[in-house]
Structure 1
Amino acid sequence: MDLRIFTEPQQGATYDTLLKVAKATEDLHFDAFFRSDHFLSMGGTDGLPGPTDAWITLAGLARETSRIRLGTLMTAGTFRLPGVLAIQVAQVDQMSGGRVELGLGTGWFEEEHTAYGIPFPKEKFGRLEEQLAIVTGLWSTPLGETFTHQGSHYQLSDSPALPKPAQAKVPVLVGGHGAKRTPRLAARYADEFNIPFASLEDTRRQFGRVREAVQEAGRAPREMVYSNALVACVGKDEAEVARRAAAIGRQVDELRANGLAGSPAEVVDKIGRYAEAGSERIYLQILDLDDLDHLELISAQVQSQLS
C-alpha cells in the first residue's frame, strides 16, 4: 500500500509551509506530495494568508525536492485552458526530473469562481472529456508532427504540441463518485482512478464499475491503479487523537467513521480493509500543516506496518 500526503492549502498555508510539509514527506519516506487546486477556503476558516496556485507551488517544490512524486487532487478544469495546462504540467515535469502526476477534474466550487472572476460553465463534464483528450493528445504527438482538435468547447489547429514532459507518460488521475460517465472517462484516459472520502462499501462498488469500464475499453486490468483519499487523524493515545481532531474542527467519532482516525493500530487495520476493497494507494488528507509530528507518527507507526 502506497501512502501519499495530500494537502488543502486553500484552508490557509504559505508556500514556505507547503515546502516544510513536502520536505517532511520526502524525509519520512512517503511516496508523494499532492495538493488541492482551490482559491477559496471552506468550512468557515478565514484561509489566511490567502490561496496559493497549485502549479506554481509544484514548480517550486520540483526544484526543492528530489524523490517524491508531485501532483494535484484535482486540478480544476475550469481554471485553465487545456493547451496551457499541458504546457504547464510538461514544464513542471521537466523541472522535477520526471516526477509529476496530473489529477484533472471538472471544478465544482462555484463560490471561488465568483470570488476571482473565473467563468463557471453549466456543462463541465463534456469540457473535462475534451481537456483530457487535448492534454494527453498534445503530450503523445510525435516530435515534428502537429496536433489538431476540433471539439464543441475547444479548438486547436496545427499545434506544435510542445514542450514534451520528461516522462514518456505522465500519469493521469481521474476520480469521483459518478456511476456511469466517470468510470468510462477514467477507462479511456486515466492511469489511476481515485475515489475521495468514500466508505468501504462505496469504494468497493465504484472500483467495480471502473474495472468493468476498463475491460470494456479493451485495457488490461492492471493498467489502472485504484486509490482512495481519506482524512487522517492519528494519535499515540486517545487524548492525542482528540487534540488533533479539535485542531482541524472535527469530531473524533465522525473522523473514525469517515476517515482514518484513532491509534496507529486502528488506522493500520482500517487501511487493510480498504486494501481488501481494492485500494492500492491512499492519499492521507493532512489538514493541520503545522503538525509535522503527525507525519512522523504516521511514518513510524502506520507506514512501517504496511511495507
Structure 2
Amino acid sequence: MRLRIFTEPQQGASYDTLLAVARAAEELGFDAFFRSDHYLTMGGSGLPGPTDAWVTLAGLARETSRIRLGTLMTAATFRPPGPLAISVAQVDQMSGGRVEFGFGAGWFEAEHTAYGLPYPADARERFDRFEEQLAVITGLWETPVGETFDHKGEYYSFTDSPALPKPAQSPRPPVLIGGTGRKRTPRLAAAYADEYNVPFNSREDTAAAFERTRAAVEASGRTRPMVYSAAQVVCVGRDDAEVARRAAAIGREVDELKANGLAGTPAEVVDKIGRFAGIGAERMYLQVLDLSDLEHLELIAAEVAPGLDG
C-alpha cells in the first residue's frame, strides 16, 4: 500500500503553503503529492484565492526531486485538449518524468460561472467531450516524433499537429480516471486509464466500483495492468484528544470522520486502510485539509506507514 498526500487548495492555500506540504511529504517518504483542480472554494472564504493546478505542479516539479506529482482530477471543461496536453507534457519534462494525469469530466458549475468558463449543462455532453479529450490527449502524446496527429471529432479537430512536446515518460504519463459511474466510467477507465480511483466512498461501495471496472477491463481484452486506488479524508491523533483537536480544525465531527474517512489513532487508521487493501486498493490518497499542520504528516509517516508495511 502506497500512501499519497492529497490537498484541496481551493479551500485556501498559497503556493508557498503547498510547497511546504509537498516538501514535507517528500522528506517523510510519501509516494506522491496530489492536488485538486478547482477554482472556487466549497465553503469558507477561500483566501488567498485559487491557485492553478498545473502552474502549481510546474513550480513543484523544480522544487522537489523524488515525489510524484499529479491531480485528482483536472477538469476537462477548464482547458482545450491541445494546450492541456502541452502543459502536462512540459511539467512532466520539468519534473524528470514524475507527473500523473488525473482527468475528469468536470462537475462544479459555480466555479465555471465565477471565472467565465463554458459549462455544458448536459451531463452526457460533458462526458462526450471528456471521452473525446482522452482520445486526443493520449493520441498527441503517443504519436511518434516526426509524425503528425490528425483528429476530426464531434467537438475537436486537429490537422497536421506535430504533437509536441513529448512528455518525459514514454509513451505518456500515467492517466487516472475516477468516480463511481456504473457503465461509462468503467469503460473509459478500461480504455484509457492506468489507475482507477474511487474517492470518499465506503469500503463496500469502493469494492463494488472496483469490481465493475475489473469486469470492464476483462471485457475490453486489455492486457496491461490496472492500478486500483481510493481517496479518503484523514485525521489521525495519538489519543482521542488529539483526534478531536484535528477534527475541530477542519470543521468536522470525530464520529462522522470515523464513519466516512480515516480517523482515529494510528492503529485504528492502519486497520481501516488494511481493509481497503483487502479489496484490492494499492494506493491510498490521504485528503489533508489542514495544510498548516505538518506534524499531522509526521505522525502518519512515523506511526501509520510502518504499520502498513507490517
Aligned partners of 2:67 and 2:221: how far apart in 1?
32
1:205 CA drift (Å) = 0.4
1:267 CA drift (Å) = 0.2
Q: Which residue of 2 aligns with 1:295?
A: 297
Aligned partners of 1:215 and 1:192: how far apart in 2?
15
Q: Which amino acid aligns with 2:48?
A: P
Aligned residue pairs, count: 305
1:153 CA drift (Å) = 1.0
1:98 CA drift (Å) = 0.4
1:40 aligns with 2:40: yes
- 1:237 maps to which of 232, 236, 239: 239
- 1:201 maps to which of 199, 204, 208: 204
- 2:273 maps to which of 271, 280, 284: 271
Q: Which residue of 2 aligns with 1:89?
A: 88
Unaligned runs of 5+ residues in structure 2 are: none
Q: Which residue of 2 aligns with 1:19?
A: 19
Aligned partners of 2:61 and 2:158: how far apart in 1?
29
Aligned partners of 1:120 and 1:298: how far apart in 2?
39
Q: TM-score normalized by structure 2?
A: 0.97
Q: Which amino acid aligns with 1:126?
A: D
Q: Which residue of 1 aligns with 2:152?
A: 150
Q: Which residue of 2 aligns with 1:58?
A: 57
User: Where do 1:142-291 residues align within 5 Å?
Assistant: 142-168=144-170, 169-220=172-223, 223-291=225-293
Report the RMSD for the aligned CA atoms in angstroms: 0.7
Aligned partners of 1:24 and 1:214: how far apart in 2?
36
1:158 CA drift (Å) = 1.1
Aligned partners of 2:111 and 2:305: how far apart in 1?
35
Aligned partners of 1:15 and 1:106: how far apart in 2?
25
The secondary structure found in structure 2 opposite 1:161 is: coil
Aligned partners of 2:216 and 2:149: how far apart in 1?
27
1:84 CA drift (Å) = 0.6
1:219 CA drift (Å) = 1.5
Q: TM-score normalized by structure 1?
A: 0.98
1:293 CA drift (Å) = 0.3
Aligned partners of 2:221 and 2:305: how far apart in 1?
35
Aligned partners of 1:263 and 1:212: how far apart in 2?
36
The secondary structure found in structure 1 opposite 2:176 is: strand
Q: Which amino acid aligns with 2:195?
A: E
Unaligned runs of 5+ residues in structure 1 are: none
1:37 CA drift (Å) = 0.2
Aligned partners of 1:147 and 1:178: how far apart in 2?
31
The secondary structure found in structure 2 opposite 1:250 is: coil
Aligned partners of 1:50 and 1:304: how far apart in 2?
36
Give CA-to-partner distance per residue, 1:174-218, whole Å, 9 cap, x none: 010100000000000000000000101101100000001001111
1:304 CA drift (Å) = 1.4
Which aligned runs of 4 or more in structure 1 are off by greater than 2 angstroms?
none
The secondary structure found in structure 1 opposite 2:155 is: coil
Kindly, what percent of the aligned residue pairs are identical?
A: 73
Q: Which amino acid aligns with 1:165?
A: P
Aligned partners of 2:79 and 2:254: how far apart in 1?
37
Give CA-to-partner distance per residue, 1:83-121, whole Å, 9 cap, x none: 111000000000000000000001100000011010001
1:140 aligns with 2:138: no
Give CA-to-partner distance per residue, 1:124-170, whole Å, 9 cap, x none: 00111011101100000011111111111111111100000001131
Q: Which residue of 1 aligns with 2:101?
A: 102
Give CA-to-partner distance per residue, 1:18-65, whole Å, 9 cap, x none: 0000000000000000000000001x2100000000000000000000
Aligned partners of 1:145 and 1:231: how far apart in 2?
44
Q: Which residue of 2 aligns with 1:76?
A: 75
